[in-house]
Structure 1
Amino acid sequence: MVIDDFDVRILGFTGVVDSVDDLLSDLDGLSGNDDSVVQLLDADGIAGKKHVLHAVNQSILAFDRGDNFANDLGVEVCLRCSAQRQISKAFRLLGLKKGKMNLCAILINGNNKIIDYLNDKFERNDDVLLPVSSNLINIFDLMPEECNSYAYEDIVIDRISKLAVDY
């Protein structure tokens, strides 16, 4: 998918993260260009691909307008996906952790070497990007009235949109 001249790919994986630092270092070495962004998130906090696409779009627009919360587009994507303004809280909610994980890989202008690396290291599974109500209720502190009236993905997208309004 292309958003504002950015090639965006969203992929789901399952596997074991042996070392967060080593994984990020390996990915950084594969990126190949300055406008490439790879952001790995805990897929247990993802409400669907539309959730991630909205967060990426809002991140790109924020950088275009100069009202981004972070200095790095990948960090901005994490903030928006988590519907947070504080980087530490966003990474606590959706960041990588050592051990078995469901992963959401967000590639912006990423190359095939990155995808090949992720496919070799983890098992491809886009089903991890589907909403799991119990996870989303806990992560996003969703209210029963909201959950009974709206789709989880729509609630999270609304929270992302409110970041700019409530700022």
Structure 2
Amino acid sequence: MDIRLVEGSIFIDELRPYLGRLSAMASEHDVIIQGVNADKVAGREHVDSAIIKAMRSMDNGTNVANDLGVEIMRYASGKRQIGEAFSIGLMEGQMNVLFIVIGETASVEGAVIDLSGSIEPSSVMPYSDSKKADIVSQFCITTDELDAVGDEKIPDLVLERVALVDVLK
């Protein structure tokens, strides 16, 4: 199983047809492709943690979603409910995006090439101050928490929320 991340910016004119094209691309390459809003991602560790927890839940049969991509979104979003997990998903307009591609190596490579051709590549995954408002809102991080630990701990607070997805049922 190979996992690759493709990051950059994109303009999505209409979401539903775009998601249809992503689904067709995933089927064509026999891979899972999950897109997330990179402005709500607090770095590589956040993404890796969500992927590991989602894969583990699928293996253990404790998953809520029947689709690995949606299960990854549940963890990445810090939300237990599938409907709420889409809050970290793709949206119409200009956005920073992170695609998670999972499958056999040769298949993943083909999908990554196709995805890379449709986005403007840039490093949008690392946490930065420009993401603070989106992340604080997404993960319901309180002013009291920030006062106690400081803004530099936001990525750690996000990891805590990812871990709590399993606990808060």
Q: TM-score, normalised by structure 1?
A: 0.86
Identity %: 29
- Distance between the aligned counterparts of 1:42 and 1:64, measured in 2? 26
Q: TM-score, normalised by structure 2?
A: 0.85
- Distance between the aligned counterparts of 2:13 and 2:99, measured in 1? 17
SS in 2 for 1:129: coil
Please identify, of 42-51 and 128-137, the stretch whose mean Cα deviation from structure 2 is larger: 128-137
Give runs of aligned pairs for residues 4-153 of structure 1, distance below 5 A. Answer: 6-31=1-26, 32=28, 34=30, 36-91=31-86, 93-109=87-103, 111-126=108-123, 128-131=124-127, 132-148=131-147, 149=149, 151-153=153-155
CA RMSD of aligned residues (A): 1.7
1:27 Cα deviation after fit:
2.5
1:13-42 CA-partner distances (Å, limit 9, x unpaired): 1020122223222222233465x2110011
- Distance between the aligned counterparts of 1:24 and 1:134, measured in 2? 26
Paired residues, what number? 159
Structure 1: which amino acid aligns with 2:168? D
Gap regions ≥5 residues in structure 2: none
